[in-house]
Amino acid sequence: MRRPSASSARGSGPPVANAPRPVAVRAHEGAPIEVDGEKVEAEVESWLVEDRWWTEQPVRRRYWELVTSGGRWVVVFHDLEAGAWFAQAA
């Protein structure tokens, strides 16, 4: 059985569950202080993911699990390769 290439696998099939979505983040010294206009009240946890460093598409992300002033729990990450911010369901 032939394995599909990475490029063909990305463009077909159902949408990815829990796919990241772009989000507006204001940061101070690299850490989020506001997400989609809501002040960050608490940082629950932060972690770094570095994966696929041996490929042409490495993954370098800094994640934060946060509580906003509106009481929302949100997980955001800063894509350290692209410089963009994303939210992802916890």
pLDDT tens string 1-55? 333 434 444 456 677 778 899 999 999 999 999 999 999 999 999 999 999 989 9
pLDDT score at 3: 38
The predicted model scores a pTM of 0.77
Three-state SS for 6? Answer: helix
Average pLDDT (63-67) is 97
Average pLDDT (67-72) is 94
Q: Which residues contact 44 (CB under 8 A, 6 or more apart)?
A: 65, 66, 67, 73
| Distance, first Cα to last Cα, the chain | 35
Q: Cα separation of 72 and 5, whole Å?
A: 39
Q: Can you read off the two tokens belonging to residue 57?
A: 């598409």
Q: Cα separation of 88 and 65, whole Å?
A: 10
